[in-house]
Amino acid sequence: MLGFIGQIIRWLLTWLYFVLIICFAGALFGLFSHLLFGLCFIDSPDYGYLAAFGFSNGLRYGGVWAGGFAIVLCVMRARKEYLQRHLES
């Protein structure tokens, strides 16, 4: 029973890890894309506002996809571990 609970906690932490990585990547992508487009299309951009707005947008849209994509990554990792365990025995 204790091993089963340990596996649940392990996969929840793995899922949370993937969610945080995806949200962070989305926030960075939003930040840099807003700054880049601001430099290209706005005459006198407010860099602080563009950076904050891009970070917010990137985090929001990254967060929309993060949960589902993290589940897919966990399933892929679990399948890989399953196959490695059964090929060895």
| 51 within domain boundaries | yes
What's the pLDDT at 40?
93
| 41 within domain boundaries | yes
| 19 within domain boundaries | yes
pLDDT over threshold 80, residue 54: yes
Domain total of the chain: 1
Tokens found for residue 89: 């025995």
| 5 within domain boundaries | no
pLDDT over threshold 80, residue 89: no
| 56 within domain boundaries | yes
| 40 within domain boundaries | yes
Split at pLDDT 50, 70, 90, the class of 88 is confident
The domain containing residue 30 runs over which residues? 10-88
| 4 within domain boundaries | no
